[in-house]
Chain A
Amino acid sequence: MYGKGILKGLGVSARHFIETYLDDIRWLGRKRYGSPEGIAHRASKKGRGIFTVQYPEEKVPVPEEFRFVPFLVYESNSNGDKSYRCTSCGICAKVCPPQCIWIVRNSDPATGRPIPDPAEFYIDADICMNCGLCAEYCPFDAIKMDHNYELASYGRVIFDKEKLGKPVAYYESIRPANAAKENAARAAKEAARAARAD
């Protein structure tokens, strides 16, 4: 029969249409919209019916590995000063594909010898391609990829050291598994060094 295929297709559409209501009914009493469970349900293999997430009212949670423009990790001393983990070794600047990291190495005013702390650190976030290579190859866990993707602005976005800095606690909160792994590795290294020193 001519038109059977179209009717069959329309049947599928109709089912999808009805699903959007059915799923709402199944979720009666629970929050299908605007709640983490609701969003998780819609993004799971069981997701049926209305699939979309209403950004910005709802946001899809980002997985741990999600990467956006990098930040510099700092630790706070007892007197509240920031101490950046970065040693200005320059590996991130060398590995960055679009070459958007600019680092001025610090040097000791007295001796003129370089000291392991960046005097200036810039990332041109407009050029950054969010590849994550800097974070992957930094040997000091000093530069990490952020989860904050809401960076839209009217002008050029160039981050300096001040803007790039974020505390360790923040890093541990967005990437708990990675941070734990790295902390363990660092502790093991320290222990090995201490053992050798003895």
Chain B
Amino acid sequence: MTEADMKTPIPNEALDLPALFPGILSADTRPGYSGWIVEKDNLLEFATALRDELGYDYLSSVTGVDYLPEGKMEIVYHVYKTTGGPGLVFKVQAPRQDPVEVPSLISIYPGAELQEREAWDLLGIKFTGHPDLRRILMWEGFAGHPLRKDWKEAYFEEEGKPLKSRWPEGKIVQAEDKNPFGDNIAYPDGFDPDKGKYEPEKALYAALRESQQDETGLPSDRIIVNMGPQHPSTHGVFRVAVMLDGETIVSLKPVMGYLHRNHEKIGERNTFLMNMPYTDRLDYLSSMSNNFGYALAVEKLMQIAVPERAEYIRVMMAELTRIANHCMAIGALFNDLGFFFTPLLYLLEERELILDIFEAVAGSRMMCNYFRFGGVARDLPEGVLEKIKGLCFERLPRRIDEIDRFLTENEIFRARGIGQGVLTAEDAIRYSAAGPLLRASGIPYDVRRAEPYSIYERFEFDVAVRYHGDIYDRYLVRLDEMRQSIRIVQQAVKGLPEGPIQTGKPQYQVRVPPGEAYGRVEGPKGELGFYVISTGKPNPWRYHVRAPSFINLTAFGPMCVGQKVADVVAVLGSIDIVLGETDR
């Protein structure tokens, strides 16, 4: 596919879905909603046809919604064509009983694996046919499914913020006084960590054994190695359980959730505006893009436009974030490969200069909290534009060329990168890989081009793409993307108009009409989506994050099988995850 094809997304020919699938689907007619409701029993049939006949080959997001008052659970699927164009939303409804059962889509879209596990863990939706439906973010001894609307956390006060205890009679109470230690833990029935044998790892190891492929059938010695949760190169508290045959990886399972704080539950307690600073803490290396995605989703719900100047500022910030993130990603990859700190520190210098800009504009280097619904928080302070110009027209292009000279031809890196951790194009699509991971496998899919948001259709830039799908190509794609981002910022600086930076008056309590919206941006790590449902109240009813770091890990196991154990670290480094987003 050429760049020209990518620029004009293939029009989504008006599909008459009900005629194609009579009797098994109906339009979602609730006010503010869109998409289709599919009969549960026909889900597999429908999804197969969708993928094979209609070309919706990419399952972007799977999540559940608990409609407690209506007594039902809904599973929401977002699918796309990797050739571009808008997506398709379909939903399956099930009565809210225990357990809620829905067929798993893993046989059609393997990318659903981790997402379905998450929906099971947090919402208690059982996906029948899922081979490894274990908890993923919570631990085995956790009671209940925390995203259900009738589940209450230990420090529960009220359904939604603002809490009444803070004003006007705000006598301060500290959480630790309110809850003496030990009182806030509940276990499932029949579970006692002190009594009997508690073997949380049993299911994990069984799953590892399950997914190994042994053609010979001969008994051989396999060992299980746990890397992490505190292995220095796991980029945080992340654990990888691998089964080895000698040094070769037979199967691999990522284990995560150590940094889990149920971001989505917090988000549903928060008001719409309060969520903005919380999104910073998802992928804390690129908070501006997180703000962007969330702002887009809520703006869709509110149906407000963003002034020109704010759009330009948003694009500039998002692209600078991408550069900063890729500095970190490339640096960390080399750190993992054993080059130690030199490449990382060279790149951190550039990142520091970008963070200086964020600090001057937003007030904080990493937790930017800069976007508001309908604009940005404040205009560019004096001198910042000069700084951005200095960076993007003078310093960064030269520095990136230097990094290119420094690393690209390095023989050690080539030996460890070329042909290692390969993800083929078909697999990248099947496993719902996104961002640089997908583009390094030869799929030129970039949300900025496939379904342009904000003002991206005005800018000249190329979608970076490489074709081997290995560690080396992922590095090259990131390098290319940094160059393209610089191009975008250069154009944005030149085109920046004068004018207001926010629609309407700044409001702390925004009115959001009922409905659903899905806002997605091309984050530095891949497609970042926010699925928000409003019921017209100050707090969102549902707030879901399609986290690229999390979903990209679906392909981690398949990428590593057959590699040597030392490559696990390199492959993980080339995926570029941030645990704040993975664990949410």
A residues contacting B by CB (< 8 A) are 2-6, 8-9, 11-13, 16, 43-45, 47, 51, 62-67, 88, 90-91, 93-97, 99, 101-105, 114, 120, 122, 124, 129-133, 136-137, 145, 156, 158, 177
Asked if B166 and A102 sit within 8 Å, CB to CB, the answer is: yes
Known: A88-B168, A104-B171, A129-B367. A45 touches B394 (CB 8 A): yes
**A99 in contact with B168 given A45-B391, A65-B362, A66-B364 (CB within 8 Å):** no
Interface residues of chain B, those whose CB is within 8 Å of chain A, are 161-163, 166-172, 174, 270-271, 273-278, 342, 346, 349, 352-353, 356, 359-364, 367, 369, 377-378, 381-382, 387, 390-391, 394-395, 402, 405-414, 506, 508-509
CB nearest to B278 among chain A residues: A97
Report the Cα distance A176→B442, complex, angstroms.
52
Q: A66-B364, A122-B172 are in contact. Are A47 and B167 (CB under 8 A)?
A: no
Contact of A45 among B270, B363, B369, B390 (CB under 8 A): B390
- Asked whether A67 lies within 8 Å of B170 as measured between CB atoms, the reply is no
A124 contacts which chain B residues (CB < 8 A)? 172, 174
Cβ–Cβ < 8 Å partners of B359 in chain A: 62-63, 65-66
A-B contact pairs, 18 of them (CB 8 A): A8-B405, A8-B406, A9-B410, A44-B390, A51-B352, A63-B356, A65-B363, A65-B378, A88-B168, A96-B166, A96-B274, A102-B171, A103-B168, A104-B169, A124-B174, A130-B367, A133-B508, A137-B508
Cβ B406 vs Cβ A13 within 8 A: yes
A97 close to B270 (CB less than 8 A): yes
> A64 — nearest CB in chain B belongs to which residue?
B381
Q: Which residues of B contact A137 (CB under 8 A)?
A: 506, 508
The interface residues of chain A lying within 8 Å CB-to-CB of B414 are: 5
Whole-angstrom distance between the Cβ of A3 and the nearest chain B Cβ = 6
Across-interface contacts of A158 in B (CB, < 8 A): 172, 174
A103 touches B395 (CB 8 A): no
- Tell me if B381 and A63 are in contact (CB < 8 A): yes
**Cα–Cα distance between A158 and B173 once the two chains are bound (Å):** 11
Instruction: Look across to chain A and name the residue whose beta carbon is closest to the beta carbon of B377.
Output: A136
Q: How far is the CB of B279 from chain A (nearest CB, A)?
A: 11
**Are A67 and B167 within 8 A (Cβ)?**
no
Q: CA A151 – CA B218 in complex, angstroms? A: 63
On whether A5 and B410 interact (CB within 8 A), knowing A13-B342, A124-B174, the answer reads yes
Given A9-B410, A51-B349, 19 more A-B residue pairs with CB atoms under 8 Å apart are: A4-B409, A4-B411, A5-B413, A8-B406, A12-B402, A43-B352, A45-B387, A45-B390, A63-B359, A66-B363, A93-B162, A93-B166, A101-B170, A102-B166, A104-B171, A105-B169, A120-B171, A130-B364, A130-B367
B410 and A132: CB pair below 8 A? no
Q: Which B residues touch A13, using CB under 8 A?
A: 342, 406
Complex: how many Å from CA A12 to CA B408?
12
Partner of A103, one of B167, B277, B402, B409: B167
Q: Which residues of B contact A11 (CB under 8 A)?
A: 405
In whole angstroms, what is the CA distance A2 to B412 when docked? 10
Q: Are A136 and B406 in touch, CB under 8 angstroms?
A: no
Task: Tell me whether A43 and B356 are in contact (CB under 8 A).
Answer: yes
- Contact present for A63 and B360 (CB under 8 Å): yes
Q: Is the CB of A45 within 8 A of B364?
A: no
Measured in the bound complex, the distance between the Cα atoms of B270 and A13 in whole Å is 49
Given A5-B409, A65-B363, A104-B168, verify A45-B395 contact (CB < 8 Å). Answer: yes
Bound-state Cα–Cα, A11 to B402, Å: 11
The interface residues of chain A lying within 8 Å CB-to-CB of B409 are 4-5, 8-9
Tell me, in angstroms, the Cα distance from A61 to B422 when the chains sit together. Answer: 46
Sorted nearest first, the 8 A-B pairs with minimum C-beta distance are A5-B409, A102-B170, A105-B168, A131-B277, A90-B167, A97-B274, A45-B390, A63-B360
CB distance from A87 to the nearest CB of B (A): 12
- Please give, as numbers and ranges, the residues of chain A lying within 8 Å of B352 by CB-CB distance: 43, 51
Task: State in angstroms the CA–CA spacing of A120 and B381 once bound together.
Answer: 35
- Distance (Å) between the CB of A52 and the closest chain B CB? 9
Q: B170 contacts A104, CB within 8 Å?
A: yes
| Residues of A close to B361: CB separation below 8 A | 65
- Residue of A whose beta carbon sits closest to that of B392: A45
| A94 and B167 within 8 A (CB) | yes
Complex: how many Å from CA A90 to CA B381? 29
Partner of A99, one of B161, B407, B411: B161
Asked whether, in the complex, the Cβ of A94 is within 8 Å of the Cβ of B162, the reply is: yes
Task: Report the separation of the CA atoms of residues A56 and B360 in the bound assembly, to the nearest whole angstrom.
Answer: 21
Report the Cα distance A95→B410, complex, angstroms: 52
CA A167 to CA B360, docked complex, whole Å = 24
A6 to chain B: which residues have CB within 8 Å?
Answer: 410-412
Instruction: Give Cα A122–Cα B356 distance, bound, in whole angstroms.
Output: 31
Bound complex: CA A67 to CA B366 (Å) = 12
Query: Cβ of B508 and Cβ of A93 under 8 Å apart?
Result: no
Q: A9 contacts B405, CB within 8 Å? A: yes
Q: Closest chain A residue to B157 by CB distance?
A: A99
Shortest distance between the CB of B255 and any CB in chain A (Å)? 28
Complex alpha-carbon distance, A53 and B122, angstroms: 45
Q: Which residues of B lie under 8 Å from residue A136 when comparing CB positions?
A: 377, 506
Which residues in B have their C-beta under 8 angstroms from that of A177?
381-382
Q: Tell me, rounded to whole Å, the shortest Cβ–Cβ distance linking B378 to chain A.
A: 7
Q: Contacts of A102 on B, CB cut-off 8 Å?
A: 166-167, 170-172
Whether A131 lies near B367 (C-beta < 8 A) is yes
CB distance from B350 to the nearest CB of A (A): 10
Please, which residues of chain A bring their CB within 8 A of the CB of B378? Answer: 65
Question: Roughly how many angstroms separate A91 CA and B271 CA in the complex, as a whole number?
Answer: 13
Contact partners of A45 in chain B: CB under 8 A: 353, 387, 390-391, 394-395
B353-A99 in contact (CB<8A): no
Q: How far is the CA of A96 from the CA of B508 in the complex (A)?
A: 10
Cα separation A132 to B280 with both chains bound (whole Å): 13
**Closest residue on chain B to residue A51 by CB atoms:** B349
Tell me the nearest residue of chain B to A122, going by C-beta: B172
Q: Find A67's partner among B163, B349, B363 (CB 8 Å cutoff).
A: B363
* In contact, B168 and A114 (Cβ under 8 angstroms): yes
What residues of A have a CB within 8 angstroms of the CB of B274 in the complex?
Answer: 95-97, 133
Docked-complex contact B168 and A131, CB < 8 angstroms: no
> Nearest residue in A to B411 (C-beta to C-beta)?
A5
- Assess the B174–A156 pair: CB atoms within 8 A: yes
A8 neighbours in B (Cβ, 8 Å):
405-406, 409
| A124 vs B172: C-alpha distance when bound (angstroms) | 9
Q: Which residue of B lies closest to A94 (CB)?
A: B162
Given A9-B405, A45-B391, is A93 in contact with B167 using a C-beta cutoff of 8 Å?
A: yes
Question: A4 CA to B352 CA in the complex, in Å?
Answer: 31
Question: When chains A and B are docked, how far (Å) is the Cα of A16 from the Cα of B382?
Answer: 32
Tell me the minimal C-beta distance from A19 to chain B in angstroms: 11
